[in-house]
Structure 1
Amino acid sequence: MMGKVAASAFRSRNNELCNLQQSCIRILSFCESNSSRAGLQIHCPVIKQGLVENLEFCNNLLSLYLKTDGIKNARNLFDEMSQRTVFAWTVMISAYTKSQEFVSALSLFEETLASGIVPNEFTFSSVIRSCAGLRDLSYGARVHGSVIKTGFEGSSVIGSGLTDLYSKCGRLKEACELFSSLQNNADTISWTMMISSLVEARKWREALQFYSKMIKAGVSPNEFTFVKLLGASSFLGLEFGKTIHSNVIIRGIPMNVVLKTSLVDFYSSFSKMEDSVKVLNSSEEQDVFLWTSVVSGFVKNLRAKEAVGTFLEMRGLGLQPNNFTYSAILTLCSSLRSLVLGEQIHSQTIQVGLEDSNDVGNALLDMYMKCSASEVEASRIFREMISPDVVSWTSFIIGLVDHGFEKDCFGLLMEMVRQGVEPNAVTLSGVLRACGKLKSLSRVSEIHGYLLRRHEDGEIIVGNSLVDAYASSDSVAYAWNVARSMERRDSITYTTLVTRLNELHKHEMALSVINHMFRDGIGMDQFSLPGFISASANLGAHETGKHLHCHSVKSGYSSSVSILNSLIDMYGKCGNLEDAKKAFEEIANPDVVSWNGLVSGLASNGCLSSALSAFEEMRMEGTEPDSVTFLILLSACSNGGLTEMGLEYFRSMKEIHNVEPQIEHYVLLVGILGRAGRLEEARGVVETMPLRPNALIFKTLLRACRYHGNLSLGEDIGNKGLALAPSDPAFYILLADLYEESGKPELAQKTRDLMSEKGLSKKLSKSTVEVQGKVHSFVSEDVTTVEKTNGIYAEIDWIKSEIERSGFTYRGSENASYHSAKQAAVFGLVYTSPQTQVHVVKNKILCKDCHDFVSLVTRLVDKNITVRDGNRVHIFKNGECTSCKGEETSFVLP
C-alpha cells in the first residue's frame, strides 16, 4: 500500500514538474517574442526546481538574455549549459557579430568546430560577416572553403555575406563573380548587398547600373536598397538622387524613418533644405535621428536660424535631442563663433546627462577653442573627458596651435601615444603646423622621421603639411624634396609652396611653381592664383600678372574676392592705377583687404589725396580698418610730408579703432617726425614706447639725423643701434656718411675701416625687370671689375652721351654710373616692344642719380618707366616723376 502511494506521489510530482516546465517554456517564448525582460525572473526558480537541463528551455532563455540583457549574462548562461545545440552556438556567435566583437565571434566559432558541432548556414553567415568586419580575407577564404564542403554555397544569405567580404577586402572582381554564380537564387538582400559593396568601393555609377539589372531581373528593391542608392547619388549629382526618389514613390516603398533620413541627408548635401523638410513631413513616422539629420543639414548649410528653430521645434514635439543633435548645434556655434549660444547648449547637455558623451565633449572642445579668446574652458573639458578619443586629442592639439601654444603640442602628442591613442593624419598635420609656426626645423625633422617609421608619410594631407612645415622653417630644398617624393600632389601642395615662397621673398621661384603644376596636370584655381599674382606684383612682372588675370577670367574665377584683391595689389604695385580701380569696382562687397589694396595703390603711386579719401569712404561704408590699414596711412603721410595728419592717424589707432600699435607703426611714426626735423620728439617716441626698440627704428632715426645733419643725436642713436645689431652694415654706412657730411672725414674713415675689419659689406642693390614674360635681375657692382654683360653698360654710356648731346643737364656721380636700377631700366628699354611699359623693382631706396637718369631717359624716348622701391612707385613720363614730383626725401643720395 505504501509503495502504491509513493509511486502515485512520484507520478504526480513528475506531472507537476512537466507542467511547470511547459509553463516556463511558454512564458519564455512569449517574453522572447515581445523582448520582455520580465521573463528573466523565471531563471532563478527554474534553477531551484532543477529544470535547467531542458534544452528547449535553455535555448529560449539564452535568446531572451541576448535580446534584453546583453552578451555578458547570456555568455554566462551559455557556459553553464550542459547541452549546446547548433542553435545555441549560432545565436551567441551572431550576438558577438552584431555587437562588432568580431574577434570573440571567430574565437567562439573555433570552439564550435572543436566541440564537433556542424555549423549551419546562419552560423557561417555570422562568421563571414565577422571576417568582413575585420577585413580578414585569409580566414574568410578558409570559411568559404568550409561552406563549399558542407554544401551551403547556394545559400543567398551566405552568398551575400561572401560578396560583402570580398568587396570590403578589395576583391571586387571576386565579389562580382560570386554574385553572378548566385544570380538565379539572388534575392533582394543579395542584390542590395552587392549594391552596397559597390557604393563602399566608390563605384557609384556601377551601383546604379546594378540597380537597373536588379529591376530587369524582376527582384523588388526594398527601403535599404534605396538607402544605398541615395548614398551613391550624393556623389553623382542631384538629378540622380531625384530619379531614385521618384522610383521610391512609384514602387510604393514605405517611407520609414531610415529611408526618410537618407533622403534628408541627400537633399541636404545639395543645399536643398526645403526638400529635406518636405521629406520630414511626408509621413507621421519620425524619430530623433530623422530630426537630427534635418538639424545637421541646416548646420552644414550655415542656415543658423532654421537650424536652431528646428532644434526647438523638435524639443517642442517631445523628442529629446541626442548626443548627435547637440553635437550638430555645437558645430553651428563653432562656425558662427557664437560663444553665448554655445554656453547655453553646454548647460543643456549637462541637464540631460550627456556631458560624458565623447561626441558632445568633442563638439564642446571644438566650440570653446574656436569661440573663446582663452583656451581655459576647452582645456577643462578635455581633462574631464573619461576616455578622450583621437578626435578629442586632435581637436585639443589644433586648438592650442590656434591659440598660440605651439610648444605644448609636442608633449601632448607624446602623452596621447602613451595612453594608447594612435594619432591620425589630421593630428600629425596639426603638430606639423605648430612646427612651422615655431620655425623649428629640428621638430619638423623629428615628426618626419616618426611618419617614415609608421609609413604614414604617403597620405596627401600629411605630405602637404610636411611641405608647409619645411617651407615655413625656411628649408625650401627639403620642402621641394617632400613634394617630389609624394605619390600624388594636388592644388593644396602647390598653393602651400607658392604662399611660403612669397613669404620668404623668393618670388621668382614662386612663379616657377606654375610649370610644376602644369606637368602634374593640376590647374591653377581660386586658391593658388592669388599667390602667383602676388609673386608677379612683387617682381614687377606686369605682363605675367596680366596673363594670370586673363586665366582667372577664362577659368571662371574672376569673381573671387581673393583673386580680385591680389589684382588690386598687383596693378597698384606696377603703376597701373586704372586697372587696379577696375578690379576693386568688380568686388560687390569689398573687405578690409580690398580697401587696403586700393588705399595702398593710390598712396604708393603718389595720389595721396585720393588715398586718404578712399580711407574715409572705407569707414563710411562700415569697414573697420585693421593694423595693415594704418601701416599704409602712416607710410603715405611719411612719404607725403603730412606730419600732423600722420600723428593724428597714429593717435586714432587705439583711441578710436581699438588697434594696438605694433613696432612697425612706431617705426613709421619716428620716420614721420624725423622727416619733419622733429628729432627730439622722435627720440622721445623710441624711449617711451611700450615695445622694445628694434634695429629698424634706430636706423630710421639715424637716417633722419643724417638728412638733417644732427651729429650729436646721430652718434647716440648709432651707438644704440650697433649695441642691438653689431653686424648690421647699415649703421656703419649711415654713421660714416653723417661724419663725412658734418666735416669729420677722419671719423668717417675710421667707421668704414671698423666695418671692413668686421668683414661687413654694403648690401648689394638689386633690380629686376620683366621682358617677354621672363624676369631679369641686375646687381650694382664696381664697373672696373665687372664685365659689361649683354652690352648694358655700353648702352648706359650711349644714353648719357645722348642726354648731353640733347642739351639736358645731368650731373651723374661716378659711383652711381652703373647702379642696378639704371641697368634694369635700360635693359627693359632695349628689349621690350615700343608699346610695352618698363617696370623695374628695386630692393633699396632709389638714389637721386638713378632718379634723374631715368627721368631724362623718358624725355629722350616716348616711353613710360616705373621704378618701385619699397612701398613707393616712381612713375616716369615725359621727363618727370609724376608720383614724387622730385621731392628730395623720396630718394637717397648716391
Structure 2
Amino acid sequence: MHMLCSKTPTQSFSLSRFQETCLRVLSFCNSNSLKEGICIHSPIIKLGLQHDLYLNNNLLSLYAKCFGLHHARHLFDEMPDKDVVSWTTVLSSHTKNKYHFDALELFDMMLGSGQYPNEFTLSSALRSCSALGEFDCGTKIHASVVKLGLEMNPFLGTSLIEFYTKSCCSTFEVYKLLSLVKGGGDVVSWTTMVSSLVETGKYGEAFGVYVKMIEAGVYPNEFTFVKLLGAASSFLGLAYGKLLHAQLIIFGAEMNLVLKTAIVDMYSKFRQMEDAIKVANMTPEYDVCLWTTIISGFNQNLQVRETVGAFLDMELSGILPNNFTYASLLNASSSILSLGLGEQFHSRVIIIGLENDLYIGNALVDMYMKCSHSTTNAVKAFREIASPNVISWTSLIAGFVENGLEQSFQVFSEMQAAGVQPNFVTLSTILGACSKVRSLVPTMMLHGHIIKTKADIDIAVGNALVDAYAGGGMTDEAWSVIGTMNHRDSITYTCLAARLNQKGDHGMALKVFVHMCNDGIKMDEFSLASFLSAAAGLGTMETGKQLHCYSVKSGFHRCNSVSNSLVHLYSKCGSIHDANRAFKDISEPDAFSWNGLISGLASNGYISHALSTFDDMRLAGVKPDSVTLLSLISACSHGGLLDLGLEYFYSMQKVYHITPKLDHYVCLVDLLGRGGRLEEAMGVIETMPFKPDSLVCKTLLNACNLHGNVALGEDMARRCLELDPSDPAIYLLLANLYDNAGLSDFGEKTRRLMRERGLRRSPGQCWMEIRSRIHHFSAGEKIDEDEINEKLAFLITEFRNRGYQYQESEDKIYHSEQLAAAYGVLNVPTMAPIRIYKNSLICPHCHTFMMLATQVVGREIILRDRKRFHFFKDGQCSCRGHS
C-alpha cells in the first residue's frame, strides 16, 4: 500500500515542474485579464494541487477579474486554507463591485479567523466605509491601522484621507492626517483629498485645499487638475476654469490625453467651443474619449452641423466611435427634431452591433419619441435594450406624456412590475402626465406612493406634485403639499402661480407672491413673468409697475420672458405707450414679443398700428406664427377691415405655410359675420376641416343678431343647443335677436324657457384698482353706500335733462360696470382716467351709459371687457360701434 501511494522522484519532479508551469500561466493570464487561464483549474484538482495556497490565490484573482464576484466568492468559500492575500483579494473584489456591506462583513470574518489585515485589506475596507457613510466603522479601522503600526504607510494614508474627506463635515481631521504623512503629504495625498471633496460636491472646499496644497510647497500634477477642472465645469465657473488652465501651464503639468479631454470638456460646458478646439489641437494625440467630448460639446451648444462634422473628422482620423459617441449623435438629432438624421445614426449603430447597448438604447427611445409622429419605433428600440434602467423607462414615459397619451401610466406600472424603482425624474414626469390629463385619481395614488417611498424629500418631486394638483384645480391640496415640503424654491411657487393664471384666478396668483416673499425666496425671471401675467390679468397697473421696478433692479428685464410679460401687462392695462416702450427695450424681440405688441395694439383699438407692426415684424426677419395671424384677423374683424382680414386668412397656408386651426375659423366667421356676409360665414362652418363647436355657432348667432337675420339665427341657436344645451348665453343671444327684430313675445318665451330649465348666466363682475386696492362690483348688487346710489341717480337725471337718448330700466341700473363707473367718479383723482375691468362683454345698454357719462362728468373712462378695450371720451368710444 505504501508503495502504491508513494511518488517516485521522477514523478515529484514532474509535478513540481507542472506546478511551476501553472503558476506562470496563471500569472500571465492575471496580468492580461485572459479568461483562458481558467483551464488550469481542472488539472490542478485532478493532480491534487488544490491545497496549494499560492496557486489558489492566483486562481481566485483570475476568477475575480474575469468571471465575476459570484464565482470568486464560491472558490474562496471552497478553499481549505486562506491567508491575508486570499481575504484581501475577495474583499477588494467586493469593494470594487460596490458590494460594500458584504465587504465589511468579510472584513469582520477575517478578523474573527485570526488573520491580520495588511495595508491593502484595510484600504479596501476603508473605501467601503466611505461609500456607506459608516463613520464609526471607519474610525475603528483607523484604530486598527494605528495598532498595527501602519499609520505612516503612504498607501493607507491616502485611503484614510479619502475616508475622512468624504465622511467629515470638516477637513480638520484630514489636515491632521496630512501632518502625520512624511513631509506633510505628497501630491497623491493632496490630490486624493481634492478628488474626494469634488466627488462629494464640496467644490469650494476642494479649491481651498488646492490653494493650501500649493502653499505647502506640493506641486499639483495632471490628475489634480483633472479633478479641479471637473469642479469648475460643475460649479465653480468659467473664471476658475481659466485660472486652472493658466496654472497647469505654469506648473508644467503633462498635457496627456486625460488632462486635455478635461480642459476641452470644461470649455465646452461654458459654450467656449473655439477655445475647446484650440486646446484639442495643441497636441496631435486624439482618442475616442476626446472626440466624444468634442462631439458632445458641439451638441450641448446646439451646433448640430459642427457635431456631425466632428463625427466625420473622427472617422477620417481612423478612430472608431463608441456607444457614448453615438448616444451624443442621437441626442443631437433629437435637439433639432431630425428623424432622418437620427435614422442614419441608428443604421450605423445596427451595422456595428451596438443596438442592444443601454446608453444607445436610451438615446434611441428619446430620439424616436421626440422626432417621430408615431411611438412605434421608440417602443421597439426600448424592447431591444437588454436590461432597461430607470433612465430607459423614464425616457419612454416622458415620450408618451409629450405625445399626450395615457399609456404613460401603463408603462409606469410595467416599470414597477419589472422591479425598477422610479427616481425623482420619473415621478416628476408621470406627475406631469397627471397634470396634462387633469385626472386627480392617479395624482392622489402617486402622492401615496411618494409618501410611502419618502420620495417627497426631493424638491423636484414636491414641485411636480404641486403642479399636478394645481393643474387639476385642487388648489387647496397644492397649498397643503407646499406646507409639507422640507424645502421650497422659486419653481414651487411659479408652478402654482402659473396654474392659477391659467384658471383665471389672477388675484390668488398675486397672493402666491406674498407667500413666496414670506418664505424668503427671491423671484427669478420665470416667477416674475408669472406675477406680471397675473397683474396683467387683473389690470392692476400699480402692482405691475412695482414688479417692473423689481425687474429693472434685478436685471431680469433683459430676459425675453419678462420683457414680453411687461408688453402684455401694459397692453392689458390700456397703456399702449408703456407697452411700446417695454417692447423697444427688448434687444432681440422674438415671435412672442411681436405677437404681444400686435395683440395689444389691436385690443386697444389701434388697428392700423397693429397692421403696420406686423409689417415691421416681417422686415425684422421674424417669422409669423399661427398666433400672429389670429391677432391680425381678429384686428381686421374689430376694425371692419373685411377684405384685408380675408387676405390674411387665405395667406396663412399659401404664404406662411401655417395650417389654420379652429380658432382661426371662428375668427373668420366673426369677420364675415360682422361684414354682413352671413351666408359665406355659414359656408365656412359647413366646409371647415373641423367639427363645428358651440363657440363658432355662437359667433354666427351673434352676427345674425347684429344684422337681424332671424331665420339663420334660429338655425344657429338650434345647433348651439345641440352641442351645449346648458349654456345660458345661447338663450340670451336668441332672446336679444327676437327683441331686436320686434318679436319681444318670442324673446320673453326664450328667457322663460331658460329659467324653467334652471339656467342662469354667471353674474357679470367688474373690478378696479384705486391706491393699490382692488374693488369688486357684481351685476345686480344692491349697493348700501348712499353716495354711489346718489351718483347713479344724478347721472341718469342729467341724461334726461340734457335730452340724451337713454332708456332707463330698473334692472340695468345695477350692472356691474355702472356701479364701478359711479364709484370711480367719486374716488379716482380728477385728472386720472377711470379704469374698469370686466369679466364678460359690455352690453349695448351699458356701452351707451358710459359714452353719455363721459359727457356729463368730463372724464375719460377706460373699460376692458373680455375681448377688447373701450376708450370712452367726450361721448365717443374707440370701438366706433365695432364691438
Q: Could you say which residue in structure 1 is the equivalent of 2:356?
A: 356
Q: Could you say which residue in structure 2 is the equivalent of 1:583?
A: 582
Q: Could you say which residue in structure 1 is the equivalent of 2:861?
A: 865
What is the distance in 1 between the residues matched to 2:16 and 2:761?
A: 110
Q: Secondary structure at the match of 2:806?
A: coil
Whether the aligned pair in 2 keeps the contact of 1:574 and 1:866 (CA below 8 Å) is: no
Q: Could you say which residue in structure 2 is the equivalent of 1:3?
A: none
Change (3 A) 1:184 1:134: closer
Q: Could you say which residue in structure 2 is the equivalent of 1:537?
A: 536
Shift of 1:293: 2.0
Q: Could you say which residue in structure 2 is the equivalent of 1:83?
A: 81
Change (3 A) 1:787 1:10: closer
Shift of 1:332: 1.8
What one-letter code is carried by the residue in structure 1 that aligns with 2:869? Answer: V
Q: Could you say which residue in structure 2 is the equivalent of 1:427?
A: 426
Mean Cα deviation higher: 650-659 or 724-733? 650-659
Q: Could you say which residue in structure 1 is the equivalent of 2:718?
A: 719
Q: How does 1:264-283 map to 2 (within 5 A)?
A: 264-283=264-283
Percent of pairs with identical residues: 49
What one-letter code is carried by the residue in structure 1 that aligns with 2:169? Answer: L
Q: Secondary structure at the match of 1:575?
A: coil
Change (3 A) 1:282 1:59: farther
Shift of 1:72: 6.0
Change (3 A) 1:766 1:356: same
What one-letter code is carried by the residue in structure 1 that aligns with 2:773? Answer: K
Shift of 1:258: 2.8
What is the distance in 2 between the residues matched to 1:506 and 1:787?
A: 25
What is the distance in 2 between the residues matched to 1:69 and 1:653?
A: 65
What one-letter code is carried by the residue in structure 1 that aligns with 2:449? Answer: Y
Change (3 A) 1:482 1:39: closer
Shift of 1:869: 1.6
**Counterpart check, 1:172 vs 2:169:** yes
Q: Could you say which residue in structure 1 is the equivalent of 2:103?
A: 105
**Counterpart check, 1:798 vs 2:794:** yes
Q: Could you say which residue in structure 1 is the equivalent of 2:289?
A: 289
What one-letter code is carried by the residue in structure 2 that aligns with 1:288? Answer: V
Whether the aligned pair in 2 keeps the contact of 1:769 and 1:825 (CA below 8 Å) is: no
What is the distance in 1 between the residues matched to 2:41 and 2:803?
A: 117
Whether the aligned pair in 2 keeps the contact of 1:28 and 1:64 (CA below 8 Å) is: yes
Q: Could you say which residue in structure 1 is the equivalent of 2:114?
A: 116
Number of residue pairs aligned between Structure 1 and Structure 2: 877
Whether the aligned pair in 1 keeps the contact of 2:839 and 2:866 (CA below 8 Å) is: yes
Q: Could you say which residue in structure 2 is the equivalent of 1:841?
A: 837
What is the distance in 1 between the residues matched to 2:187 and 2:176?
A: 14
Q: Secondary structure at the match of 2:870?
A: strand
Mean Cα deviation higher: 384-393 or 544-553? 544-553
Q: Could you say which residue in structure 1 is the equivalent of 2:367?
A: 367
What is the distance in 1 between the residues matched to 2:223 and 2:141?
A: 27
Kindly provide the CA deviation profile for residues 663-685 of structure 1, in whole angstroms up to 9, marking residues without a partner as x: 33333333333333333443444
Whether the aligned pair in 1 keeps the contact of 2:166 and 2:197 (CA below 8 Å) is: no
What one-letter code is carried by the residue in structure 2 that aligns with 1:249? Answer: I
Whether the aligned pair in 2 keeps the contact of 1:813 and 1:849 (CA below 8 Å) is: no
Q: TM-score, normalization: structure 1?
A: 0.90
What is the distance in 2 between the residues matched to 1:555 and 1:216?
A: 39
What is the distance in 2 between the residues matched to 1:694 and 1:242?
A: 61
Mean Cα deviation higher: 58-67 or 641-650? 58-67
Change (3 A) 1:259 1:835: farther
Kindly provide the CA deviation profile for residues 669-711 of structure 1, in whole angstroms up to 9, marking residues without a partner as x: 3333333333344344434444333222333333333333333
**Counterpart check, 1:809 vs 2:807:** no
Shift of 1:418: 0.6
Q: What stretches of structure 2 of length at least 5 have no aligned partner?
A: none
Shift of 1:120: 1.9
Q: Secondary structure at the match of 2:81?
A: coil
Q: Could you say which residue in structure 2 is the equivalent of 1:557?
A: 556
Q: Could you say which residue in structure 1 is the equivalent of 2:851?
A: 855
What is the distance in 2 between the residues matched to 1:298 and 1:745?
A: 72
What is the distance in 2 between the residues matched to 1:376 and 1:305?
A: 28
Whether the aligned pair in 2 keeps the contact of 1:154 and 1:182 (CA below 8 Å) is: no
What is the distance in 2 between the residues matched to 1:516 and 1:373?
A: 42
Change (3 A) 1:456 1:55: closer
Kindly provide the CA deviation profile for residues 758-817 of structure 1, in whole angstroms up to 9, marking residues without a partner as x: 3322332211212122322211216xxx13338333233334456667x47352523433
Change (3 A) 1:731 1:40: closer
Mean Cα deviation higher: 786-795 or 436-445? 786-795
Q: How does 1:114-153 map to 2 (within 5 A)?
A: 114-137=112-135, 140=138, 143-144=141-142, 146-147=144-145, 150-152=148-150
Q: Secondary structure at the match of 2:776?
A: strand
Q: Secondary structure at the match of 1:669?
A: helix
Q: How does 1:769-784 map to 2 (within 5 A)?
A: 769-781=768-780
What one-letter code is carried by the residue in structure 2 that aligns with 1:383? Answer: R
Mean Cα deviation higher: 584-593 or 21-30? 21-30
Whether the aligned pair in 2 keeps the contact of 1:355 and 1:361 (CA below 8 Å) is: yes
Kindly provide the CA deviation profile for residues 273-308 of structure 1, in whole angstroms up to 9, marking residues without a partner as x: 333334333445543223322222222222333333
What is the distance in 2 between the residues matched to 1:762 and 1:38?
A: 86
What is the distance in 2 between the residues matched to 1:862 and 1:595?
A: 35
Shift of 1:399: 0.9
**Counterpart check, 1:305 vs 2:302:** no
What is the distance in 2 between the residues matched to 1:61 and 1:411?
A: 48
Q: Which of 867, 874, 877 in structure 1 is aligned with 2:873?
A: 877
Q: Could you say which residue in structure 1 is the equivalent of 2:783?
A: 787
Mean Cα deviation higher: 448-457 or 134-143? 134-143
What is the distance in 1 between the residues matched to 2:843 and 2:9?
A: 125
Q: TM-score, normalization: structure 2?
A: 0.91
Q: How does 1:331-410 map to 2 (within 5 A)?
A: 331-405=331-405, 407-410=406-409
Change (3 A) 1:233 1:707: closer
**Counterpart check, 1:747 vs 2:743:** no
What is the distance in 2 between the residues matched to 1:710 and 1:35?
A: 91
Whether the aligned pair in 2 keeps the contact of 1:568 and 1:598 (CA below 8 Å) is: yes
Whether the aligned pair in 1 keeps the contact of 2:799 and 2:806 (CA below 8 Å) is: no
What one-letter code is carried by the residue in structure 2 that aligns with 1:749? Answer: E
Change (3 A) 1:843 1:26: closer
**Counterpart check, 1:827 vs 2:827:** no
Change (3 A) 1:813 1:46: same
What one-letter code is carried by the residue in structure 2 that aligns with 1:709? Answer: G
Q: Secondary structure at the match of 1:183?
A: helix
Q: Could you say which residue in structure 2 is the equivalent of 1:444?
A: 443
What one-letter code is carried by the residue in structure 2 that aligns with 1:813? Answer: E
What is the distance in 2 between the residues matched to 1:629 and 1:721?
A: 28
Change (3 A) 1:466 1:37: closer
What is the distance in 2 between the residues matched to 1:30 and 1:401?
A: 54
Q: Secondary structure at the match of 1:634?
A: helix
Q: Could you say which residue in structure 1 is the equivalent of 2:510?
A: 511
Shift of 1:103: 4.4
Whether the aligned pair in 2 keeps the contact of 1:565 and 1:584 (CA below 8 Å) is: yes
What is the distance in 2 between the residues matched to 1:281 and 1:608?
A: 58
What is the distance in 2 between the residues matched to 1:372 and 1:637?
A: 37
Shift of 1:361: 0.9
Shift of 1:843: 1.9
Shift of 1:362: 0.7
Mean Cα deviation higher: 217-226 or 693-702? 217-226
Change (3 A) 1:98 1:877: same
CA RMSD of aligned residues (A): 3.3
Q: Could you say which residue in structure 1 is the equivalent of 2:93?
A: 95
Q: What stretches of structure 1 of length at least 5 have no aligned partner?
A: 1-5
Q: Secondary structure at the match of 2:567?
A: helix
Q: How does 1:497-646 map to 2 (within 5 A)?
A: 497-619=496-618, 621-646=620-645
Mean Cα deviation higher: 443-452 or 102-111? 102-111
Mean Cα deviation higher: 491-500 or 628-637? 628-637
Change (3 A) 1:390 1:210: same
Kindly provide the CA deviation profile for residues 359-394 of structure 1, in whole angstroms up to 9, marking residues without a partner as x: 111111112222223222112111222111100111
Change (3 A) 1:314 1:839: same
What is the distance in 2 between the residues matched to 1:9 and 1:396?
A: 68
Kindly provide the CA deviation profile for residues 109-165 of structure 1, in whole angstroms up to 9, marking residues without a partner as x: 355345432222211211221233344456545545555555545545445434544
Shift of 1:501: 1.2
Change (3 A) 1:507 1:808: farther
What is the distance in 2 between the residues matched to 1:39 and 1:481?
A: 64
